[in-house]
Structure 1
Amino acid sequence: MTRRLIAALLIALTAGTACASPERSAPGGQDGAASGRVTLRVGDQKAGSQALLKAAGLLDGTSYAITWAQFTSGPPLLEAVNAGAVDIGGVGNTPPVFAAASGSKIKIVAAHRQSAKASAILVPPGSAITSPAQLKGRKIAVAKGSSAHYHLLAVLKREGLSFADIQPQYLQPADALAAFSSGTVDAWAIWDPFTSQAVIEHKARLLADGEGVVNGLGFQVAAPAALDDAGKRAAVGDYLTRLAKARIWAATHLDEWAKVWARETGLPVEVTNAAAANAVATPVVIDDSVVSSQQEIADAFTAEGLIPGTVVFSQFVDDRFNDVVGKAQR
């Protein structure tokens, strides 16, 4: 691992400890080690899982401590999982494919499916681009290895185009938003809550969403070392059950969820209200259909030459926690 990546991980983990809720970690950023409790180190994006669990009232009463580390997107989160800096974290459908292709030590342990409308390709309000076919030759911002990366690839393929036909600008969401709002890129492939933020605050126009193009899957991905530890393995199982219950709760409590999400992220509540409507997710078991759908994504990136070699997605799946879906519905 490069020094730059190690530094980035340390910064992310420091930020995560600072934003951990008081009941989850001891004062001064210490974890549960002092009390002898297991500490589960959880990676998150834009406070998604943390805000959801807090809104649903499911952060209390754990027999283990939780520390949170916030990441800008799925790929750096999985870098932290691979490095052993995070035990588990939530990502979209594409980061596990890129992590697997790079030989990362990861295990996909839970899945959910949400509306494909959360995925979007946006253009500025005054753009002359009116169809995805007109993306040819354009500068398009996208986070490399993110779910938006596959969405963009799939939309281009549908139009008979490839990545060789565009000028991809690999930017993390904050930098991409700055480039998009300043007009230095022609389009932006992104996901919620950034989609809603761009539409509401910057009057972005939707060019294409993910309906009929992406599978809408997201995953919880764990470090094998955490799963090998009996205490952390039990904590992972409980955490996944709570998260699945929170997803079910959120489907009928959008307002409450959006308010907490706004408080945790600093986003306007009108943005989180819009994002919550698209982010409702249903927990699903990791079965053959999920693996097959993910294999299609991996094969598409291989065919495009965007990842090295061939990924066998099933080799990175651990389905021992599939029972959390049933537990969450009780």
Structure 2
Amino acid sequence: MRRRTLPALLLPLALLLTACGGASSASTAESTDGKGSVTLNIGDQKGGYEAILRASGELDDLDYRIKWSTFTSGPPLLEAVNAEAVDIGGVGNTPPVFAAGSHSKIVVVGATHGSSAGEVIAVPKDSPVKTTAQLKGRSIAVAQGSSAHYQLVASLKKAGLGISDVKLKYLQPADALAAFSRGKVDAWAIWDPYTSQILRSGKARVLTTGEGIVNGLGFQVASPAALKDVGKAKAIGDLMVRLQRAQGWVFKHPAAWAKVWAKETGLPYAVAYDAVKRSYGTRVPVAVDPAAVASEQAIADTFADLKLIPRRFTFKDYVDTRFNRDLPASSAAPRSYGKASS
């Protein structure tokens, strides 16, 4: 695939909420939204927090200012949180595991939960591979440290395979798309909107999804320093409530959000709408409760056992539950995230 076709594959909202792996750069812009002496530094991605908050009207009447820093993936966003260059940002279920495993100064303060139908292992439409077990000995593209990475590990385990039974190709989405399109890999572990993109192309089919395999969680992650600052902590609490309402707006207006998202990211509207229906329109705020923590602990233990993170650690030590109290009763109710795979 020629390079000029790749800008349409920019990372939108819940790539920051669902996956994200690899190196990235960031751009920064001061926002004129709000007033007051407190400035909240928010790590974002293209078509992410700023877009959804603005589209839903949730950037109105702020009593603090926002400085947006835009990243193309989750791990470098968390590097910025660790460096205190960013106060808070949203990522998927796996970047916090890799960050905490490397002793980063991060705190999980909020969570969302949604369908994992958009997290898939895809194969070319004419591939002879019909089951996950038939991936043995074959090459698979995946972004290291992403939720797709964990979904692949868990899916292989369910099929009786380990990562040593396949040939992993650690590639970021643009490079993985090129490799997949040229037949350089046999399969691709990916997430929406890439799932929607390749299915719309008619050149791929889904071998298996993350449903029942991964927990479907995404997280808001803050810096300890920001949480110790009274003004910033108050602003973070307000932001969390606004994000809850914004996600509720997406749930009620999927077509309108897909239109905004397509414009922000350069995705075709049909692809954006498919991804919203399959993945992002399903997300709801949830409590960072013992079930969520236990599910993340299983991911951390899995990567530690595989020696893909440098140490074992207790995920609970990186969680602050103070903002659970601001959740609607239905969102704060206990949930189950399925049997942990470890």
Contact 1:151–1:213 (Cα < 8 Å) also in 2? yes
Contact 1:72–1:172 (Cα < 8 Å) also in 2? no
Q: Which amino acid aligns with 1:138?
A: R
Q: Which runs of 5+ in 2 are unaligned?
A: 1-22, 332-342
Contact 1:140–1:166 (Cα < 8 Å) also in 2? yes
Partner of 1:167: 167
Partner of 2:221: 221
Report the CA distance shift for 1:166/1:46 in structure 2 as closer, same or farther (over 3 A).
farther
Deviations 1:5-45 (Å, cap 9, x if unpaired)? xxx76x41x2x42xx7x644xxxxxxx8xx76322222223
Partner of 1:3: none
Distance 2:219 2:226 in 1: 17
Distance 1:61 1:258 in 2: 25
Report the CA distance shift for 1:173/1:39 in structure 2 as closer, same or farther (over 3 A).
farther
Partner of 1:66: 66
Report the CA distance shift for 1:183/1:92 in structure 2 as closer, same or farther (over 3 A).
same
Report the CA distance shift for 1:39/1:201 in structure 2 as closer, same or farther (over 3 A).
farther
Partner of 1:241: 241
Structure with the larger helix share? 1
Partner of 2:121: 121
Q: How does 1:295-306 map to 2 (within 5 A)?
A: 295-306=297-308
Distance 1:68 1:197 in 2: 28
Are positions 1:102 and 2:127 aligned together?
A: no
Distance 1:206 1:216 in 2: 18
Q: Which amino acid aligns with 1:204?
A: A
- Percentage of matched positions with identical amino acids: 56
Contact 2:102–2:311 (Cα < 8 Å) also in 1? no
Return the offset for 1:328.
10
State the secondary structure of the residue aligned to 1:52: helix
State the secondary structure of the residue aligned to 1:183: coil
Report the CA distance shift for 1:128/1:45 in structure 2 as closer, same or farther (over 3 A).
farther
Partner of 1:322: 324
Range moving further from structure 2, 47-56 or 206-215: 47-56
Contact 2:36–2:63 (Cα < 8 Å) also in 1? no
Contact 1:93–1:218 (Cα < 8 Å) also in 2? yes
Report the CA distance shift for 1:101/1:202 in structure 2 as closer, same or farther (over 3 A).
farther
Distance 2:249 2:330 in 1: 10
Are positions 1:276 and 2:276 aligned together?
A: yes
Contact 1:122–1:208 (Cα < 8 Å) also in 2? yes
How many correspondences in the alignment? Answer: 307
Distance 1:89 1:327 in 2: 24
**Moved segments of 4+, more than 4 Å:** none
Partner of 1:42: 42
Distance 1:258 1:198 in 2: 17
Question: How does the TM-score come out when normalised to structure 2?
Answer: 0.84
Distance 1:259 1:23 in 2: 24
Are positions 1:137 and 2:137 aligned together?
A: yes
Contact 2:95–2:145 (Cα < 8 Å) also in 1? yes
Deviations 1:83-111 (Å, cap 9, x if unpaired)? 22221111111111111111010000000
Contact 2:36–2:65 (Cα < 8 Å) also in 1? no
Partner of 1:28: none
Distance 1:202 1:83 in 2: 43
Are positions 1:184 and 2:184 aligned together?
A: yes
Distance 1:295 1:163 in 2: 20
Distance 1:166 1:75 in 2: 25
Q: Which amino acid aligns with 1:233?
A: A
Distance 1:203 1:65 in 2: 46
Distance 2:138 2:150 in 1: 17
Range moving further from structure 2, 239-248 or 46-55: 46-55
Range moving further from structure 2, 63-72 or 254-263: 63-72
State the secondary structure of the residue aligned to 1:207: strand
Return the offset for 1:62.
1.2
Report the CA distance shift for 1:282/1:168 in structure 2 as closer, same or farther (over 3 A).
same
Question: Please, what is the CA RMSD of the aligned residues?
Answer: 2.1
Question: How does the TM-score come out when normalised to structure 1?
Answer: 0.87
Distance 1:60 1:174 in 2: 35
Distance 2:178 2:67 in 1: 30
State the secondary structure of the residue aligned to 1:305: coil
